[in-house]
Structure 1
């Protein structure tokens, strides 16, 4: 048995006993401490909605480390930076923004077989669940909730929906879940009735998701060859293969770790959904112009640009779904 396999078994054992990766008891009051929140916006009075955001992967990991430490100041700085790159889509003067630090998995874990990843993902999710439940009890105050995340953060959002949102009263508070950059399968939709995919621009209580890739791609970490995911096109808000011309793209925005938009390009690219893979096929750009950027992705995987290619369309859509939710609630 390999060292990684033994470690995985030990992690599962620790989780069953309520222990974390480091052998310490999980502190139910962990998220009562402001230092464990990247963002904790409680000062907005009478917000339209709260945004609970889960950061994408920023931790690389190493030979002996597979989950980010909450004491790792350098990685926590990158954690905030990665959030800032997408925060402008969700956060405005009418919303409150919450984003917990969590022991996310390192990129090295994605190089493992799927069954070997799960114990490390459970560590990450255990933190996310604790943070969300603490938020609900102490900060939510009955406000509508937008769940949002990207990549690993999207995975964590979907785990929350499967686990916590079985509660019908909580489902009623869900504006939408923006789980962008992760796969959603037939099996998941069949097994978890609270998972409902967005069908148009303004439906609520639904999942908004897509995975961007070049037309020639047939296999990826998010959508392995021979599998299919669910998606909605952020340019025309259709779920079929209807082509969306680049003229519908209100602005691709390329942001930095401070959240500043360094470059904005209207009408950068069109897109359509490949109905066989469920991937969002992005045209009008090339894989050389927009390289995959990480060793876990092949050429033509535009995962790193999921938010940036469609920034303004997503920003507008968040506002529209919140308004639609409030209009329905007023009836």
Structure 2
């Protein structure tokens, strides 16, 4: 498409491993969530690639959400011309047209990464919200390729809904069944009981509970939660909270529901983004944070399992 991005330019990457960084045996290709809101209701629906404010926010979001992957992987995160927050109110056909540009950027960045940075290593795909939506498109279209399937450790497509239709139409997509299975997708959207859901959550959605790796309504107690990593502005910038909440899947809506007492603590917290969180009817911004340590453990377990499976593979 016209105006394609040249991902050989390092300025188009929020993060690339430095020459002095210790090289790890696995990569992660991370796509950040929606951060862009176009100014003054202008008809510019896509984030500019030179705006220093939005690039700074994107970099910060990658650092916050992506750290759990970066501890175990070489971290690659491209900037892309993402669709702005106003897309929540746009007609569906207009959204679908507008999504072509961010997807083209993510595709181009991933292709460049494979050709110039990957060097044959296995990799993880990871994203949140719009980032997960773009990676899901990528997996639908490109991951019928056995070579890509073989190198995929797992895909963490969190904060965007996958439906039963996705898995029927694209049989190469598989939802995670455990904390260490390979080539599967970890996907869920977090909410509290009896609140309206965000618009992008599709009917007939399915998800996985990152505390017990089940797809049904079986409750996983907070003792299974290895730790949330939260922000309490005005007190502590970052703190870990072991056993913060349990969770179960609301099978009718295809979402992950946290404990009532945890939801109440979040509502009462004096956080800058409290109203943004609760008024949107979900805990979308905390999808990763509430189950952070469990996700981090699963990344390590999957990587370990990947290399164990290679050793056991017949010659």
- TM score, norm. by length of structure 1: 0.85
1:285 corresponds, among 237, 241, 262, to: 262
Runs of 4+ aligned residues of structure 1 deviating over 6 Å after TM superposition are none
Out of 15, 31, 34, the residue aligned to residue 54 of structure 1 is: 31
The equivalences for 1:221-300 within 5 A come to 221-224=199-202, 227-254=203-230, 262-283=238-259, 284-286=261-263, 288-289=267-268, 293-294=275-276, 298=279, 300=281
Name the SS of the counterpart of 2:27 in structure 1.
Answer: strand
Q: Residue 56 of structure 2 is aligned with which of 72, 77, 82?
A: 77
Alpha carbons of 1:315 and 1:118: their partners in 2 closer, same or farther (altered >3 Å)?
A: same
1:228 shift after superposition: 2.3
Alignment partner, residue 11 of structure 1 = none
User: 5 Å matches for 1:144-183?
Assistant: 144-183=122-161
Q: Conserved in 1, the CA contact under 8 Å of 2:46 and 2:82?
A: yes
Distance 1:50 1:267, change over 3 A: same
Asked whether 1:305 is paired with 2:283, we answer: no
Query: Does the CA-based 8 Å contact 1:176-1:206 persist in structure 2?
Result: yes
Alignment equivalent of 2:67, drawn from 73, 88, 98? 88
Is the CA contact (8 Å cut-off) linking 1:84 and 1:256 kept in structure 2?
Answer: no
CA contact (8 A) 2:28 2:123 kept: yes
Shift of 1:186: 1.6
Contact 2:38–2:46 (CA<8 Å) still a contact in 1? yes
Measure the CA separation in 2 of the matches of 1:159 and 1:256. Answer: 35
What stretches of structure 1 of length at least 5 have no aligned partner? 1-17, 20-24
Cα displacement (A) at 1:136: 0.3
Give me the whole-angstrom Cα distance separating, in 2, the residues matched to 1:256 and 1:322: 32
Q: Kindly tell me: are residues 265 and 272 of structure 1, through their superposed partners in 2, closer, same or farther at Cα, counting changes over 3 Å? A: same
The equivalences for 1:65-214 within 5 A come to 65-92=44-71, 94-214=72-192
Distance 1:161 1:168, change over 3 A: same
Q: Closer, same or farther in 2 for the Cα pair 1:182/1:110, shift >3 Å?
A: same
Deviates more, 1:73-82 or 1:284-293: 284-293
- Whole-Å Cα distance in 1 between the matches of residues 58 and 232 of structure 2? 13
Please state whether the residue corresponding to 1:285 is helix, strand or coil: helix
Question: What is the match of residue 16 of structure 2?
Answer: 40
| Unaligned residue ranges in structure 2 (runs of 5+) | none
Deviations 1:118-150 (A, max 9, x none): 122110010000000000000111111100000
Q: For 1:226-281, what per-residue CA distance to the aligned partner results, in whole angstroms no more than 9, with x for missing partners? A: x1212111111222111111111111102599xx9612211111100112222101
Q: How far does the alpha carbon of each residue in 1:55-96 deviate from its partner, in whole angstroms, 9 at most, with x for none?
A: 11111113222000101111100010111111221012x420
The CA deviation at 1:223 is 2.3
RMSD: 2.1
Supply the distance in 2 between the matched residues of 1:220 and 1:171 (Cα, whole angstroms): 31
Partners in 1 of 2:242 and 2:219 — Cα distance? 18
The two structures have a TM-score, normalised by structure 2, of: 0.90
